[in-house]
Amino acid sequence: MIRVLVVDDDYRVAQAHALSVARVSGFEVVGETHTGAEARELVGSTTPDLLLLDMYLPDFSGLDLIRQIAASGERVPDFLLVTAARDIDSVRTAMQLGALYYLVKPFTFAALREQLEGYRTWAERMDREPEADQQVVDTLYGLRGAPPRRAAATRTLQPTMARVLEIVAAAPAPIGAAEVAEILGASRPTAQRYLAGLVKKQLLDLDLTYGSTGRPEHRYLPRRR
């Protein structure tokens, strides 16, 4: 299991992030904290693999937390910034300090899950490789450095379409328009229209299942990579 420490100054936001992380297979939340000083202590006592880290904390910034850990000589956990900070200097500094990615609030669960799943794939590959030739290095950098297409695209979607994408992504199996409509609280034609749009944007795949009548049933699932 990948151990995650959630750091956010807002108690409600930290709890929401922790619940979201817990929904993703392979991850466990080892703590929630709301100040830089508390986070500094918990990094030492809980030894997280990953920090879900806010930029704005009441005592010092999330990036200052990373600097402090690095200056102490301790292992710096991998970190994913989740923040409302939009200035390019913050983004540049985060990249320089080794941030895995930079999610600008507000973002969807689907966007966060995409980043977590990408990190899990990267971490698993790191654990499997006994040594790194150039091909392995290129693969690892690709897994860690390239933001997933669906996560980037999700942030540009109209809110209802983004919600439909999230519903399909959260479904344990391919899901039909009627089920999406019920969860969305909309009509089936409306859900069908958004689903067709997501297929056209190559964010969903259409799965045709043939029943006993021989007529295909349209069901949808996240785009296969």
- The CATH number for 192's domain is 1.10.10.10
Same domain, 19 and 127: yes
The most confident of the ranges 43-57, 91-105, 152-166, 193-207 is 43-57
Shared-domain flag, residues 24 and 102: yes
Q: Which domain holds residue 90?
A: 2-154
The verdict on 166 and 149 lying in the same domain is no
Min mean pLDDT across 85-94, 114-123, 134-143 is at 134-143
In this predicted structure, what is the pLDDT of residue 159?
A: 82
Sequence length of the chain is 225
Pairing outcome for strands 50-53 and 175-176? unpaired
Q: Which of 103, 121, 154 is the last residue of a domain?
A: 154
State whether 31 and 131 are in the same domain: yes
Give me the pLDDT at residue 109, please.
Answer: 87
DSSP for 47-85 reads: --SEEEE-S--SSS-HHHHHHHHHHHTSPPPEEEEEES-
The predicted structure's pLDDT at residue 148 = 47
Q: For residue 85, what is the domain's CATH number?
A: 3.40.50.2300
Same domain? 144 vs 78: yes
- Taking only the tens place, the pLDDT of each residue in 151-192 is 555 556 788 888 888 888 777 788 999 999 998 889 999 999
Is residue 79 located within the same domain as residue 165?
A: no
Contact criterion met (CB below 8 Å) for 114 and 122: no
Neighbours of 198 (CB within 10 A): 25
According to the model, what pLDDT value does residue 146 have?
46
Instruction: Report the relative pairing of strands 50-53 and 2-7 from DSSP bridges.
Output: parallel
Last residue of a domain, one of 154, 186, 209: 154
Same domain, 177 and 144: no
Residue 145 in this model has a pLDDT that exceeds 70: no
Tally of domains within the chain: 2
Count of CB atoms situated within 10 Å of the CB of 23: 12
Is the model's pTM score more than 0.85? no
Residues 66 and 6 in one domain: yes
